[in-house]
Chain A
Amino acid sequence: MQSARTAYPVTWRIMDALEAFAATVWPANWTRAVPYLMLAPAVLLVGLLVLGLIQIGDTSLRTLDTSTFLLSEEYTLANYQRAFTEPLFAAVAARSLLGALIVTAITLVFAFPYAYVMVRTSSPALRKFLLIALFLPFFIGQVVRAYGWLIILGNQGMVNEALGLVGVEPMRLLYNYPAVLFGLVQYMLPFAVLMVAPALTAIPEELEAAAGSLGADWLRTFFHVVLPLARPGLTGAGLVVVTLSLTDFAMPAILGGGSQDFIANAIYDQFFRTSDQGLGATLALMLVAVGSLLVGLIFTLFGAGTLAMGRARE
């Protein structure tokens, strides 16, 4: 009895039942359609997105009539002209782009050693600790975390209190560019570590020992062996971090306090404050364009990294 149960586990019986059920509701001669059917939800979703984009494209070509608060009937490029000429939008775009690049660079520099220690440490306790420390922030949403920083970095916050103890005047730590970048780095770090770690796991430890016996100290081992082999992971992580930072809304809104808007904040303002949907749509399309250009640039410079499709070929 015992052996029979282990040789044919309950999960198999459940699957048998499911298969029998599937066979009655889905005749065998339909099965060739199954793969396409399973693709359908994803295709539908992407299709809706494309429809949305077309709609936005249409809206971006109409201006707001300030007397009626309705969009104009005829098409015009006025919104694009505004987006390109008004210094405010240029400043927002430059701030977001520069911010995304800085955040990506800093995040990767921080994520790499973290992932390396997590993967290579011989202590299971340390590995567990690093993993938990990595996942905990995931359970606390981005907005809550941003508010947490408000409390910690505020004028009466913990940091200023501590500085006060050693006789340093309270400083304004919030509502400036560095605060937004700081919040973004802190938010992106787990994503980057999780994308870099598998790439490091894939590098056999023996390669590093080999480099050592061939005369490379740890620094040269790092630059000549570990870094090149980890490149796919770094590229993948960089792509994710750069797009998430470029399009982020919460960190600039909360830690920037309205003075450090990124593109997403500007779009939000057009849609929900000034109700200028035409200009909002224009900015949204430009964000899509800038993001795509940036990703395309990274693809051509570094390859697609771990996001490359098909079978990897080194």
Chain B
Amino acid sequence: MHDATTDAGAREAQGSQPVAVSVLDVSMVYDGVHAVRDASFDLPRGRFLTILGPSGSGKTTLLRLIAGFQKPTKGDILINGTSVNAVPPHKRSIGMVFQRLALFPHMTAAENVAFPLKMRRTDARKIPERVDRYLDLVKLGGFGQRRIHELSGGQQQRVAIARALVFEPDLLLLDEPLAALDRKLREEMQLEFRRIQRELGVTTINVTHDQREALVVSDEIIVMDHGVIQQKAEPSRTYRSPRNAFVASFIGVTNFIAGDARSLAGDTVVVGVGESEWTGVIGDKACPLNVGAPVRGAIRAEQIRIARDGRALEGAGSRHAGIVSDAIFEGERVVYEVRLPDLGDTLMRVFDHGPHDTIAVGDEVYLGWNPDDVLVFDDEAGHP
């Protein structure tokens, strides 16, 4: 479960590229409220970083600080190695796509895209060719003469992207630009983002609260909560080795089992719930657990197997009997909610991709999983 190989690979990739953006111990306080607290991270050139977090977690604030619309209360932001605290937005080389796009309604699509070139005093003879090239890049060739209100939501989206990219900025910032689109278009645009970003190699910071989008498009993910960076890692690592219970709960469908740590042996933790016990492994190696401390075990829904007959789960390290309390049909799979009486009536969500017509609400079933898949976190750190 600890993918040391990808980890080392990522470090190597980072080492070969100079740092494009450094955020050093940045805090932003609004009338006593910390919107961002002591945020620090480096982003190597050419990488696609996604900031993921629930509403109000400080994502937009962090982006606005990098763009220069606001000054941090504390800390420093470096772009290409130089502090930009005293540099106004129009002198930073940053393209931004806003949540509500902020296209200029009194201009055509082509004029919108030409705007940053004109503002940067690009040679007027070169502007039309550049504008056409970037409209082609976002597959809007021939739409240049349309007014903004004559374009569909997805097309407006593309104009906004072309406008943010056309002056070849050092950094591209995306503030949930896909949030307003329907799911199909959103997923299309996510892949489009990735294509364009790879084609141009522009360093990108994307903000979203869509975990799927974060996993699909990013080289790296920062998970934020309450203004604090909870974890920064590449997508597979964020998914497989969440650093705390919050990250575990925010990404994927995660079940939590409560209890008190009873004994520790190496990485393995035995946890008691009333009369019974369950076993897991320490989730955050940097944060040792104490015997007797309240803990929570996190296990992904897809790591649990379900069967009517306990013998079918012989191989599983942990096996518990339960009662199906709900069955939710989601098309490609059925999600069962199963109550486990011997684990303090914990409700577990389980996926079933097989033929779905065998289990019904009220049935007695067995759940089985590998104890190594249960990540145990201190209950005090990182609440969801």
| Contact residues in A for B116 (Cβ distance below 8 Å) | 214-215
Stretch at the interface among A79-87, A134-142, A201-209: A201-209
The yes or no answer to A228 lying at the interface (CB within 8 A) is: yes
Contact with A along B160-173 (1 / 0, CB 8 A): 00011001000000
Q: A204-B100, A206-B100 are contacts. A214–B67 as well, Cβ < 8 Å?
A: no
Q: Is the CB of A229 within 8 A of B102?
A: no
Please tell me which one of the listed residues A213, A220, A225 contacts residue B96 in the complex, with CB atoms under 8 A apart: A213
Q: A212-B69, A212-B88, A215-B90 are contacts. A207–B120 as well, Cβ < 8 Å?
A: no
Report the Cα distance A10→B164, complex, angstroms: 54
The yes or no answer to B104 lying at the interface (CB within 8 A) is: yes
The yes or no answer to B58 lying at the interface (CB within 8 A) is: no
Q: Is the CB of B147 within 8 A of A314?
A: yes
Interface of chain A, helix or strand or loop or mixed? Answer: helix
- The residue of chain A having its C-beta at the shortest distance from the C-beta of B106 within the complex is A228
Chain B nearest CB, measured from A207 CB (Å):
5
Q: Is the CB of B105 within 8 A of A213?
A: no
Q: Is the CB of B100 within 8 A of A214?
A: no
- The residue of chain B having its C-beta at the shortest distance from the C-beta of A218 within the complex is B90
The yes or no answer to A216 lying at the interface (CB within 8 A) is: yes
Q: Is the CB of B104 within 8 A of A207?
A: yes
Report the Cα distance A216→B89, complex, angstroms: 9
Q: Is the CB of A215 within 8 A of B120?
A: yes
Chain B nearest CB, measured from A234 CB (Å):
13
The yes or no answer to B115 lying at the interface (CB within 8 A) is: yes
Chain A nearest CB, measured from B360 CB (Å):
42
Q: Is the CB of A314 within 8 A of B105?
A: yes
Give chain B interface residues in 83-139, CB to chain A under 8 Å: 88-90, 92, 94-96, 98, 100, 102, 104-106, 115-116, 119-120
Q: Is the CB of B106 within 8 A of A214?
A: no
Please tell me which one of the listed residues B69, B90, B92, B106 contacts residue A217 in the complex, with CB atoms under 8 A apart: B90
B: interface residue count bin: 20 to 34
Give chain A interface residues in 227-241, CB to chain B under 8 Å: 228-229
The yes or no answer to A128 lying at the interface (CB within 8 A) is: no
Q: Which one of A204, A212, A216 has the greatest number of beta carbons of chain B within 10 Å?
A: A212
Please tell me which one of the listed residues B98, B120, B147 contacts residue A210 in the complex, with CB atoms under 8 A apart: B98
The yes or no answer to A172 lying at the interface (CB within 8 A) is: no
Please tell me which one of the listed residues B69, B90, B100, B163 contacts residue A216 in the complex, with CB atoms under 8 A apart: B90
| Contact residues in B for A209 (Cβ distance below 8 Å) | 67, 69, 89, 98, 102
Chain A nearest CB, measured from B115 CB (Å):
6
The yes or no answer to B149 lying at the interface (CB within 8 A) is: yes
Please tell me which one of the listed residues A204, A216, A228, A229 contacts residue B119 in the complex, with CB atoms under 8 A apart: A216
Report the Cα distance A213→B98, complex, angstroms: 11
Q: Which one of A211, A214, A225 has the greatest number of beta carbons of chain B within 10 Å?
A: A214
Q: A224-B115, A314-B106 are contacts. A214–B69 as well, Cβ < 8 Å?
A: no
Q: Is the CB of A212 within 8 A of B90?
A: yes
Q: Is the CB of A215 within 8 A of B167?
A: yes
Q: Is the CB of B149 within 8 A of A214?
A: no
| Contact residues in A for B120 (Cβ distance below 8 Å) | 215
Report the Cα distance A211→B96, complex, angstroms: 10
Report the Cα distance A225→B119, complex, angstroms: 12
| Contact residues in A for B149 (Cβ distance below 8 Å) | 314
| Contact residues in A for B102 (Cβ distance below 8 Å) | 204, 206-207, 209-210
Q: Is the CB of B106 within 8 A of A213?
A: no
| Contact residues in A for B105 (Cβ distance below 8 Å) | 229, 314
Q: Which one of A204, A209, A314 has the greatest number of beta carbons of chain B within 10 Å?
A: A209
Q: Is the CB of B94 within 8 A of A213?
A: yes
Please tell me which one of the listed residues A212, A215, A220, A225 contacts residue B104 in the complex, with CB atoms under 8 A apart: A225
| Contact residues in A for B95 (Cβ distance below 8 Å) | 213-214
Give chain B interface residues in 161-194, CB to chain A under 8 Å: 163-164, 167
- The residue of chain B having its C-beta at the shortest distance from the C-beta of A231 within the complex is B106
Give chain A interface residues in 62-76, CB to chain B under 8 Å: none
Chain B nearest CB, measured from A137 CB (Å):
33
Report the Cα distance A116→B183, complex, angstroms: 39
| Contact residues in B for A225 (Cβ distance below 8 Å) | 104
Report the Cα distance A44→B332, complex, angstroms: 70
Please tell me which one of the listed residues A206, A213, A228 contacts residue B90 in the complex, with CB atoms under 8 A apart: A213
| Contact residues in B for A228 (Cβ distance below 8 Å) | 106
| Contact residues in A for B164 (Cβ distance below 8 Å) | 214
Report the Cα distance A214→B149, complex, angstroms: 21
Chain A nearest CB, measured from B357 CB (Å):
47
With A214-B164, A217-B90 already in contact, 4 other A-B pairs whose C-beta atoms are closer than 8 Å: A207-B104, A211-B119, A217-B88, A314-B106
- Cβ contacts A to B, 13 pairs, < 8 Å: A206-B102, A207-B102, A207-B104, A210-B98, A212-B69, A213-B67, A213-B94, A214-B119, A215-B116, A217-B88, A225-B104, A229-B106, A314-B147
